[in-house]
Chains A and B, each alone.
Chain A
Amino acid sequence: MSVTEQYLENEFNKAPLLKRLGLFDWIWAVLVLAGSLVAYNQYSSLMDSYEVGILFGTTAGLVLFGWLWKPMRSFSLVVAAISLSAVALYGTDLSRNETSFFLKFLISSQSAIMWMSALYVMATLAYWFALASGSAFSGRVASALTWSASTMGSVGLMVRWRESYLISHDVGHIPVSNLYEVFILFAIITALLYLHYERRYNNRAMGAFALTVISGAVGFLLWYTFERGAHEIQPLVPALQSYWMKIHVPANFVGYGAFALAAMLGLAYLLVERNPKGLLARRLPSLEQLDDIMYKAIALGFAFFTVATVLGAMWAAEAWGGYWSWDPKETWALIVWLNYAAWLHLRMTKGWRGGPLAWWAIVGLFVTLFAFVGVNMFLSGLHSYGQL
């Protein structure tokens, strides 16, 4: 990346945030707020005070997020628009997803998620092609595909949320309650994180790596759907019926997503290091930059994972009667956390850089994967929701 004076100007010569906001920023804020207010007076009767808090916390968070990362604005608005039209098409009749053309083939949660899967896979191919051929165009196509895949995925989750309530009121819940649903969340979050770095370092070669892990997740998702019928919306066991789920799970998946991304960048780093003159070396960011992005991803992941684990403990204290029970999922969260704590120490206090840390980040992905999937597959405990 060339350090132009212009770049430095907007990077560092920053007026305070509020001074930097444009018209769209304010329209965005108003729309988000309006949306939340509508949601509030539609559903406040169903929400406890914490959930109201979460609603407006999310509002503020989303507005700010959109201000700090501009693409978020149009992304969210598109997702909202499509989701709302799906909700409108449904009305109060779930069986519409058989009769209405749009629901059946595009934006019922199940179709939307299938579209997401297809688009992510196409994006992966496009990124690899762009990487191999160096065609800037197919690079842009790949980004576009990734954006639309993430859009469809988010729509899928939003609509699924609604569908769960259409099934019946007591079945309704936010779709982050089992392995199937969080896998979608994982794909989306990882993609968005990547897209953020793609823009910040304006380099698309990293996409080939980031999207590969996402395609892996998609592969699992499809197997899980068709082999196990995991896409069926299941009602919640009592322990999961809590506002905590709305914050604990998403926080966790920012962590998982960031760790996965870091691992793929680690892989890229090792490949470049192995062949410094090769194609990858020419297309990917410099080793130092890769190392730096990897660090940023892990730092982000670690921060959010810390929050998530703490939230988990607080939830456990409320649901199971103890903030720590050495339940397998809990314990594996701790293991993941300790692992990255060690990683950060190596980097920050021992000044490690590059190769060894890249390897460590890749191993870290497997540790994370086990905490995320393995525990549900092989271990039983208080936490055994969404068994395979």
Chain B
Amino acid sequence: MNLAITLLVAIAIASVIGTVLQQNEPYNNYVMKFGPYWFEVFKSLGLFDIYGAPWFLFLLGFLLVSTSVCVYRNTPSIIKDMRHFRLDVQAKSLRAFRHKDEWAVAAAPADTAADLAKRLKEQGYRLRIKQRDDGVVLAAMKGSVSRLGYLLSHVAIVVICVGGLIDGNLPLKLAEMRGEIQAETRDIPVSQIPPQSMLPADSSSFRGSVNIPEGGRANFLFIGLRDGYLVQKLPFSIELEDFRIEHYSSGMPKSFESTILIHDEDLEEPLRRDIAVNHPLIYKGYAIYQASFSDGGSKLKLKSWSLDMPQQEPLDIDTSVNSQVRLTTPRGDYNLEVSDFKLFNIFPASENDPSGKKFHNYGPSVIYRLRAANGEAREYVNYMTPVMLDGRSFFLSGMRMSQAEDYRFLHVPLDADGGVDRFMAFLAMVRDEARVREKVRRQLTSEMGITQEDPLYEQLTGSIVGLVTTFVNDGVDAIVAQTEKTIQEEKRSDALAYYIKTIQGVLGSFYVDLLRQEGVDISAGVNDSDAAYFDDALNALSQLAPYGAPMYIKLQEFEHIEASGLQITKAPGQNIVYLGCVMLILGVFFMFYLHHRRLWLFISDQENGSMVLFAAAGHRDRSDFDKEFSFLQHDLRRRSGAI
């Protein structure tokens, strides 16, 4: 029995590891976490898939065997114990009991026996009476089912383990060891999956998942194995007719469900069913669950403005989620990888939100990565609809280097007709160095009266143009950095103010040109909104450098396509396990709430009456049994009229 206890504790401890260490993650996550050395050590110990590790399975197997053995060893004695009343006990062995009593009564043995037998029956005892030549023996017992409890609960352990084994992925592991199958680690279409990563449709048990886009159809699913996956064929195919999702006002999913069609040659017409979380469909022993949801390749129309050559016509891009587009830019080729589309983005609203709403919906967004030729990528999120910030609207586009960071946002101001054309036109002007030089020259002469002849003329032009281009290309931070390099502490702030003023002067006059081109009447000066626009534009300008993309992309139109994540399992062992569970529960309750007790009355003849010898034995919890015994003692004495 020490064995049993040791096993129980050992399994408990082993199980802890698997909960502390995230199981079955991609291997390089582990490498990053533990470094190559410990990765290898842990891998060889099977710590990344501990519940499938040989040594863990061995422990379970051992529990299985030892429990069986122990049941096998205990059963006969327990059955015997339950059935035999032991009518052949000797008086002297009864006297040796811990719980015993003896008293004389007036009645004859037979009557006393009959009388007490009746009493014990009332008390719920089963009993046998035997007339022996040395007297009457009355043997009784109660609660013998509790012994059955032991058998039930232990057989249950075996049954449960067996059921679990049937459903577990042990066969896969063995096949893998024999080299018959091999996990696929590449991300490739199912059609290209090599046969050794394919499982036949007649696999006896499995648990896998598949994402089906609306209108899509699948007759296979993916089973994760180690750091890769296998493809499990299905004997029928599933079509996703419709996917529906509802949200709480917080944006948290409230419910999601799919209408699926089962196509199977055994059906004369496809079977249409709704499935939802907690409401799976069982078809031919295959359980089909609503597990998750994701984007099913929404179709997107994007517009892309080159930030290096803003004068160019914007480029229209038709793409979809999870697909890539190659883009050639002055900075070299880029890969546009659209990774997700969100129909809405709900964030908690600020306390003093004018609308007084708890949450604020920022509308649709597209998430994409721009991968440069050298393979390094930045992630961007673009919101389709403009966002109001202190009274003015902007298009927001966030950038981050890695998942770990927060997005840093570029705020592109909306122009009069709600687009970005004015900004791009402005950008085109100020990015054109020749034009800038031209403008600076003219401003020098017209506003400061400095002419070509002036010795300072070229130098001034040069430095002002330098300032403006630095600002335009590298943002205000570059200007600050420059002053910190070139100018000593005390003069700095003045210098900076002066620089900015100069830059604003130059860019401002470009802006005025732009307004004229647009045909805005500025005879009475620039109106507030246009003035505000200018500040916002300069802001955006200096955000462009950190933004780091060669183009600005805007989401124009979309067709939202959702995908339903289904989990499909075949678990022939499930009912076996449930049977085991029922046995376990019954067994445990029997063991704890029924107590096996035996008692004997040996009634011997003696002159004018008889002698009653009473002895009893209880299985377990003594203190209770003491009480029960002393009750029976009183009761039987009284009943038999003890003298």
Contact = CB atoms under 8 A, between A and B. Distances in A.
Contacts of B568: 321
Given A11-B631, A335-B15, A319 B278 contact: yes
B8 A334 contact: no
B628 to A, nearest CB: 6
Interface stretch (B418-426, B503-511, B582-590): B582-590
The secondary-structure label for the interface of chain B is: helix
B577 interface: yes
Contacts, number: 138
B574 A317 contact: yes
A320 interface: yes
Given A237-B253, A238-B253, A306 B584 contact: yes
Interface residues of B, number: 62
A328 interface: yes
B592 interface: yes
A261 to B, nearest CB: 16
Interface residues of A, number: 55
A227 interface: no
Nearest to B287: A321
Contacts of B581: 310, 313
A334 B59 CA distance: 15
B51 interface: yes
Given A314-B578, A338-B9, A375-B19, A321 B276 contact: no
Given A170-B248, A238-B255, A241-B278, A8 B5 contact: no
Interface string A110-143: 0000000000000000000000000000000000
A8 B254 contact: no
Interface string A282-319: 00000011001001000110110011001001100111
Interface in A332-388: 332, 334-335, 338-339, 341-342, 345-346, 348-350, 375, 379-380
A334 B627 contact: no
A321 B207 contact: yes
Contact of B19 (A317, A320, A379): A379
B315 interface: no
A321 B277 contact: no
B16 interface: yes
Contacts of B19: 328, 331-332, 375, 379
B280 A346 contact: no
Contacts of A288: 622-623
Nearest to B13: A335
A171 interface: yes
Most buried by A among B16, B22, B277, B622: B277
A3 interface: yes
A12 B628 contact: yes
B448 interface: no
B11 interface: yes
Contacts of A238: 253-256, 276-278
Contact of B631 (A12, A244, A320, A328): A12
Given A321-B569, A322-B207, A8 B15 contact: no
A321 B280 contact: yes
Nearest to A302: B588
B567 interface: yes
Interface of A: 3, 5, 8-9, 11-13, 170-171, 235, 237-239, 241-242, 244, 288-289, 292, 295, 299-300, 302-303, 306-307, 310, 313-314, 317-324, 326, 328, 331-332, 334-335, 338-339, 341-342, 345-346, 348-350, 375, 379-380
14 contacts: A8-B634, A11-B628, A12-B627, A235-B250, A235-B252, A238-B255, A238-B256, A317-B571, A317-B574, A319-B277, A326-B51, A331-B19, A338-B9, A345-B8
